[in-house]
Each structure stands twice: as C-alpha cells, then as structure tokens.
Homo-oligomer: A and B are copies of this chain.
Amino acid sequence: MNVDIGNALAAVASPGISREALDRLDEQVAIAHDRIETGRANAEHGYEALNLPAQVDTDEIRSAVEPVADAKALLTVGIGGSSLGAATIVDALESDTETVFLDNVDPEWIVAHLDRLPLENTAINVVSRSGKTAETLANFLVVRETFEDAGVDWTERTIVTTGAAGPLSELADRHDLPSLNVPDGVPGRFSALSPVGLVAAAVCGHDIDALIEGAAAEAETLSDSLYDCPAYAYGATMYALDARGASMNAMFPYTEALETYSEWFAQLWAESLGKDDLGQTPLRALGATDQHSQLQLYRAGPRDKVVTFVTPQERSDRSIPETDVEDMAYLGDATLGELLDAEFEATEASLAAAGRPSVRVEIDRVDEHELGGLLYGMEAACILAGELYGINTFEQPAVEWGKKAARGLLGGGDFEEAAAVADKTELRIDR
C-alpha cells in the first residue's frame, strides 16, 4: 500500500500534526521498530504475526481443502478473529463459491441459512483458536445435526482450524477430520494470513500464494523511519492524531469489495489498542454510500475524527448510458467508476476545505497480492501504534468477565460474574 498523510498535517487540518512533531515522532518510531524486530526475532507472542508470510505453509492448506475443492458453498463457523479475516478475503474477491459465515448465535438467522444451503455441496470450515468458544461450538453442534438430519455426512466435508489442545481438537481427532493449526504466537485478529483466513480463500479458489507474496512485499518495507514505510507512516499518524484529539478513525474505502475489510480493521484497531483507558475508536464507512449518511457529521461535527480513505487505482468499469433528460445529461459522458472516483476526490477535498484531517491509503487494485499487502500493512501499523501507546497490543482481558458471566448463566460452572448480572440497577420508562 501507499500512504499519503498530507491532509493530516497541521497546515491543513485541526487536529493535525506539524512537520516538526512528525520528525520528533520518527525518533520514537525507530525505537518502536527496534522493539518489534526483537519481538519477531525471538518469536514473542503477537510479534510472531509479522513473521507469518515467511512461515505459512500454503501447500498444507491446499491439500487440506482438496477433499472439498468442488464445493458450491462454504459454511464457516467462527466468530471475531476466527471469522473476519476469512470474510474480508472472500468478500473482496470474486468467486463462484457461495460463502456463509456463522459468526453469531441468532437462532432464526442460523436456521434460515441452513435451510437455504445445498448441504450435499457445502464444505464446513470450523475455526476456534481456543477450541472452547461457546458460540462456535454451539453453532457447530447445530450444523452437525442439520447435516445428519439431511442424511449428509458432515465428517467428509469438514475442515477444522484450532489450537493444539481443546474440545475442537479432540473432536477433530475423534472423527479424523483434516485439521490445521492456529499458530501459537498469533492472536485471532492477527491471523488472517494463517490457515484461519486462508482455508476459506483456498476453498473459494483464490490464489493464496499471491496473498502471502503481497504480505511479504509489505514486510520488506518495515524500517526504522515512518518516511520510508507506509505501514508505520499510517500507524504513527493515527497515534499522533489521537493524541491531538482525533479519538475516532473512520475507515472509508471507496469500493464495495472492501466493506468487510472495514469490519476486520475495526476489530484489529479496537481490540488491540482499546485498553488502559486508551485507544482510538474505529468507525466504519463506505464510499460513496456514506457521503449521504455520515459525511455531515465528519465535516461539521466535533473535531474528534480522522478519516482513512482506501482507494484502488484500477477497477473494471461500466459506462453510464446517455440521456436527453435535463440535469442528467452530464452523467452520460462518464462511467460509474469515474463518478465514484470523482465522489472520492470531492469528499477528500471537502474535509480538507473544512480543516478536517484525512489520510489516503492507495492500493493498485483489489486482488490477492494487494489485499495481502493491505492486511499485513494495517497489522504492522497497529503493532507500531501499540508500541507508541505503550500498551500490550496482543491481549484482550476485558472480554473475559462477560464470557464467565454468560457461561455461569447457562449452568456451565460456578462464576461470581453470573451472580452480578442479577444486581442490575433499573430505571424503566415503559410505554
């Protein structure tokens, strides 16, 4: 990816960062880069994510999915980091394989999906790092039963991706299912470029080697100065703007293909940086659609946001037919792609004209290579930002309390958190 931070400079926007402050920040970037390289060299937890391109075995993934290579549909059972990386990749790229992600436990929604899918032509991709995630296990039990009730052998079409131990691993052994490993040092939200994201991509026929090559090329750009590294330029700028008041970062791609990518980014940013009362909040927007929804707030609301545009430099296009209707005629000289690009440039300029900061991230086009680079680049940006904040980027302790409470409420053990649920303070206004 290429990055342009011109519209985040203090000369353009408020909040913004001055050139002098950027130079000072670059000294911290050098120190952070050093820490990151040490973490990578010592295979420390989390930092390992940046080593994935050199380590992932794409042949192993291809051979695991071989038995379901002709599936017409792919049902992925996973949630959070076990779902969003795979969803980002398959939603960005065209494929004839239909994909469904069971990333929630809403009963009506799950039953509707399972009723609709051609089960005899559906592959199942179960993903849970711990192998204990309640939502994923519950859904997998329902999926198994649904296949059995339909007389379809689920053991012939299921691939499991999980850690070395746990109930899911036990289950894979018991039924002799193809099983891939979630790399030990890689938290879920950093695992898109491991089997967690690549199994789904491979089943859908995407070039997983090109994904890894794109990531590897991005890895080559990591260096001790933000001026030489697009990923660090992005991470450092976001950190600096948050410190100056931009407590929100609106991810605003100008292509439908990257709508799910914004969800993936939102988890990456929120769960990695949101701790110790710190962390910039990710917002999700989509160009041009959300110009008609969010732009009023971004341009004229509080000065607490920075916008991140992501734009492909090439795309297939479609001309707009000519018309003699007045006030519509000018459209007939353009294509839809030109209209979309004009909307992007206009929106970027309209924020700058109002003194609101934005950053532009460019990729050549939406394909495997560029997507691999974008995911890797944003992971590196996030890890750099974590170093600058001085937090532990790779843990998510605040999620545990609720997990225990939910398990306790369901009778899965004795947890004091479950008792606290009953103490709710009420002030009801009923109709």
Q: How far is the CB of A419 from chain B (nearest CB, A)?
A: 10
State the majority secondary structure of interface residues on A: helix
Interface with B: A45-53, A62-70, A117-125, A221-229, which one?
A221-229
User: A247 at the A/B interface (Cβ < 8 Å)?
Assistant: yes
Question: Is there an interface contact between A424 and B81, defined as CB atoms closer than 8 Å?
Answer: no
Known: A247-B304, A294-B266, A301-B274. A138 touches B429 (CB 8 A): no
Question: Is there an interface contact between A226 and B429, defined as CB atoms closer than 8 Å?
Answer: yes
In the complex, which residues of chain B have a beta carbon less than 8 angstroms from the beta carbon of A158? none
Q: How far is the CB of A275 from chain B (nearest CB, A)?
A: 5
In the complex, which residues of chain B have a beta carbon less than 8 angstroms from the beta carbon of A55? none
In the complex, which residues of chain B have a beta carbon less than 8 angstroms from the beta carbon of A320? 138, 141-142
User: A41 at the A/B interface (Cβ < 8 Å)?
Assistant: no
Interface with B: A176-184, A194-202, A338-346, which one?
A338-346
Question: Is there an interface contact between A275 and B301, defined as CB atoms closer than 8 Å?
Answer: yes
Question: Is there an interface contact between B339 and A134, defined as CB atoms closer than 8 Å?
Answer: yes
Rounded to whole angstroms, the CA-CA distance of A235 and B182 in the bound complex is 45
Rounded to whole angstroms, the CA-CA distance of A271 and B296 in the bound complex is 5
User: A33 at the A/B interface (Cβ < 8 Å)?
Assistant: no
Rounded to whole angstroms, the CA-CA distance of A190 and B171 in the bound complex is 51
In the complex, which residues of chain B have a beta carbon less than 8 angstroms from the beta carbon of A107? 315-318, 335-337, 340
Known: A137-B328, A141-B321, A274-B300. A352 touches B431 (CB 8 A): no
Q: How far is the CB of A340 from chain B (nearest CB, A)?
A: 5
User: A151 at the A/B interface (Cβ < 8 Å)?
Assistant: no
In this complex, the member of A103, A336, A430 whose beta carbon has the largest number of chain B beta carbons within 10 angstroms is A336
Question: Is there an interface contact between A431 and B267, defined as CB atoms closer than 8 Å?
Answer: no
Question: Is there an interface contact between A284 and B284, defined as CB atoms closer than 8 Å?
Answer: yes
User: A153 at the A/B interface (Cβ < 8 Å)?
Assistant: no
In this complex, the member of A279, A303, A331, A430 whose beta carbon has the largest number of chain B beta carbons within 10 angstroms is A331
Residues 402-431 of A, flagged 1 when their CB comes within 8 A of B and 0 if not, give 111111011111000110110111111111
Rounded to whole angstroms, the CA-CA distance of A317 and B281 in the bound complex is 34
User: A38 at the A/B interface (Cβ < 8 Å)?
Assistant: no
Question: Quick one: copies of this chain in the complex?
Answer: 2
Contact among B3, B233, B279 for A297, CB-based, below 8 A? B279
User: A110 at the A/B interface (Cβ < 8 Å)?
Assistant: yes
In the complex, which residues of chain B have a beta carbon less than 8 angstroms from the beta carbon of A399? 291-292, 295-296, 299
In this complex, the member of A135, A297, A332, A347 whose beta carbon has the largest number of chain B beta carbons within 10 angstroms is A297
Rounded to whole angstroms, the CA-CA distance of A345 and B333 in the bound complex is 55
Question: Is there an interface contact between A431 and B330, defined as CB atoms closer than 8 Å?
Answer: no
What residue in chain B is nearest A293 (Cβ atoms)? Answer: B267
User: A54 at the A/B interface (Cβ < 8 Å)?
Assistant: no
In the complex, which residues of chain B have a beta carbon less than 8 angstroms from the beta carbon of A338? 410
User: A88 at the A/B interface (Cβ < 8 Å)?
Assistant: no
Residues 1-32 of A, flagged 1 when their CB comes within 8 A of B and 0 if not, give 11111110101100000000000000000000
Interface residues of A in 346-379 (CB under 8 A from B): 346-350, 352-354, 373
In the complex, which residues of chain B have a beta carbon less than 8 angstroms from the beta carbon of A84? 293
In this complex, the member of A1, A12, A79, A427 whose beta carbon has the largest number of chain B beta carbons within 10 angstroms is A427
Rounded to whole angstroms, the CA-CA distance of A274 and B9 in the bound complex is 23
Question: Is there an interface contact between B331 and A138, defined as CB atoms closer than 8 Å?
Answer: yes
In the complex, which residues of chain B have a beta carbon less than 8 angstroms from the beta carbon of A418? 346
Complex A-B, nearest 10 residue pairs according to Cβ-Cβ distance, in ascending order: A80-B292, A274-B297, A330-B412, A274-B301, A346-B405, A267-B293, A270-B297, A350-B402, A346-B406, A109-B256
Can you list 17 A-B contacts with CB-CB less than 8 angstroms, sorted by A residue number? A4-B428, A6-B424, A7-B425, A79-B292, A107-B337, A134-B339, A142-B321, A144-B321, A230-B429, A247-B304, A277-B303, A300-B397, A339-B410, A343-B406, A347-B402, A349-B405, A373-B431
- Not counting A334-B411, A345-B405, a sample of 8 additional A-B residue pairs whose C-beta atoms are within 8 angstroms of each other reads A7-B424, A105-B343, A142-B318, A228-B429, A247-B304, A266-B293, A339-B410, A342-B410
